[in-house]
Structure formats: structure tokens, C-alpha cells
Amino acid sequence: MTQSPTLSRRSSSSAPSQPRKSRQRGADARAGYTFLLPWLLGFIALTVGPMISSLYLSFTNYNLFEPPKWIGLDNYTTLFQDERFLQSVGVTVSYVVFGTPLKLAAALAVAMLLNSKRRGQGFYRSAFYAPSLIGASVSIAIVWKAMFGDAGPVDQGLSFFGINLGGWVGNPAMTMPMFILLTVWQFGAPMVIFLAGLKQIPADLYEAASMDGAGPVRKFLNITWPMLSPVIFFNLLMETIHAFQIFASAYIISNGEGGPAGSTLFYTLYLYLRGFSDFRMGYASAMAWLLVIVVGIITLIFFKTSKSWVHYSGDAK
């Protein structure tokens, strides 16, 4: 179908170039939108449309059975008096703030350990990566719950060393460390990305630094960190955004309730409960939009502050 313009262009090659070019451009535009159609349809029907309607719903009272009732900003003002909501914010923020940096620190440390031409590197890389592939699954959530159960293997193993933490799964003070361990355990995916970044750093930079008598700490601060900063930035942004959206593990480990004592009531779990158990869909939409705004602001802050510490290879610095 797009063949005819190209064919005619060949046969009329002596014709002035202006109409030929514009005809080609028109054909390209048609072809472009035809090829883009699947994504474009999905983008409009599954992303933009729903975003607009959830924005509308967030200003209404809607339970799926009666028509939405406009209530203005009520959902938003109620949210900040809702103790369960505030608790879910606290739970999620502490998960993001402690889990993500720990996970990335582990990923970077192990990547630096593996960044050498030693035998077995490929094996270790694969072994460390494996948890990232399965970590968010229901199966692993079940295993985690069993392993960290009261008097489970982790508890027993620690008490062997004289450490008694009073259980994990049933102990509100220990559920967060348990979830943080679960995310740190999945350090493999960012590690593999770090490793690819480390391999791009020219070895002569380190050699020159050694000649100048720089130790490992100075080499890390003056070479590794700045050279790796674009990768660190990418991992930090993606891991932070993902951390906000933890769901399956939280649902399974807490039996879909966020217990004990609300200590595992992650934001998305509370959103799900409000929207799909209580059918308070306007309220849940307000929660969803707050999440979008917060994630948007965080992304913006990341990009704004990145100018001071992320160095791209093309930079003058």
C-alpha cells in the first residue's frame, strides 16, 4: 500500500523535487500513524482515558453501583485525617527510604567485587541475579513468610547465635526489616546494570590514579562514583519508583490485611482494599492520584538535583 508512492517517485524522477518530497512525507505520515496504531490506541484507551476519569472520580463518591456523586476535595481532605492512610504512607516511606539505598549499596558493592577478570564471574553474576527474577512472585512471598515465621528457620538460626528478636512475621517491630531483607535480597538486577557500567570505565584512569598514589577510597570517590553516576542515577530512580509499588509480597505475607497492627499496610495494599474490598473507588482514585503526584515530584527532584552529581561522558567536566 505504501509502495505506490515510492514506485511513482522512481518513474517520475525527472519531476521537480518539491511535490515528490511532500508526497513522500504524506505517505510517511500515514505509514507512521498506521504502525503506531496499536500503541496509540492503548495509550488513549488504557492510559490517558483512565487517568482523566480517575482524576474525575477522585472528586466523587463512587461505589460502582450508584452514579458518582461530586464531593469536591472531600476525598483528599479526608485522607489526611485517615489514620490507616497515614500509617500506609509511613510504612511505604520507610520501606522506600531504607530498602532502596540498602539494596543499591549491596548491588554496587557486589558489582565492584565481581568487576574483575576472574573465573566464575559469569556464574556468580547469574546466581546473584536469580532472586530478582522471582523475588516479587507469590511463591517467594509464601517462602519468605514461612522462613521468617515465628520459630521459623531464620528465627531459630539467629537464636543459635543468642539473638532473640521475638519473631518476624507476627511482630510489628520486625515486619519492616523482613520486607527490607526481601528487597535487598533482590539486589541482582541493579547489580548487573552496575557491572555493565563499571566495565565502561577506562582502566587507565585507575592506573593513572595509582601512579599518583591514590588509595582505594580516593579511587572510588574520584573515579568510580562520578564515572558511574549516570548508572547510579538510573538505578536509583527506577528502584525508588518500583519500591512505591510493592504489592504481591505485601498482600500474601499479610493475608491481604496489612497486619500485624498495620505494620505491613503498604500504600498500594491500602489502595486496593479501599477500592476493591470497600468499593470506595473515588477515595481509592484520590489515593492513586496522590501517588502519581508524589512519584512525579520525586522524579522531578531527582532530575533537578542530578545536575550537581551526575556526569555524562559528553560533559566538559
Partner 1 sequence: MTSTATPTQSLPDAELAHYNPKSESAGTKRVKSTVFHLVALALTAVVLYPGLWMIASAFKPNSEIGGSNTSLWSNNFSFDNFVTAMDGIGGVSTLQFFTNSLILAIGAVVGTILSASVSAYAFARIKFPGRSIFFGMMIATLLLPFHVVIIPQYIVFQQLGLVDTYVPLLIGKFLAADAFFVFLMVQFMRNLPAELDEAARIDGAGHVRIFTSIMLPLMKPALISTSIFSFIWSWNDFLGPLLYLNTPDKYPLPLALRLFVDQTQSSDYGAMIAMSVLALLPVLIFFLVFQRYIVEGVSTQGLKG
Residues between 234 and 293 with contacts to partner 1, criterion CB under 8 A: 234, 237-238, 241-242, 244-245, 247-248, 251-252, 255, 268, 271-272, 275-276, 281, 284-285, 287-289, 291-292
Q: Tell me how long the chain is.
A: 317
As to burial, measured by CB atoms within 10 angstroms (0-12 exposed, 13-18 middle, 19+ buried), residue 1 is exposed
C-beta of 64: minimal distance to partner 1 in Å? 7
In angstroms, what is the minimal distance from the CB of 307 to partner 1? 19
**Which positions from 80 through 119 interact with partner 1, judged by CB under 8 A?**
110, 113-114, 116, 118
Nearest to partner 1 of 35, 80 (CB atom): 35
Judged by CB, which is closer to partner 1: 237, or 317? 237
| Residue position matching grid coordinates 519508583 | 241
Apex CA 48: angle with CA 43 and CA 54, to 5°? 140
Backbone angles phi, psi at 239, to 5 degrees: -65, -40
- Please tell me the count of residues contacting partner 1 according to CB under 8 A: 102
CB 299, CB 244: distance < 8 Å: no
Which x/- pattern, by CB under 8 A, does the window 45-74 give for partner 1?
Answer: xxx-xxx-xx--x------x----------
Return the residue of 157, 166, 202, 216 that touches partner 1, per CB under 8 A.
Answer: 157
What would the DSSP string read from start to end of 248-272?
HHHHHHTTTTT-STTTT--HHHHHH
Considering only residues 177 through 236, tell me which ones interact with partner 1, judged by CB under 8 A: 185-186, 188-189, 192-193, 195-196, 234
CA–CA separation, 75 and 251 (whole Å): 24
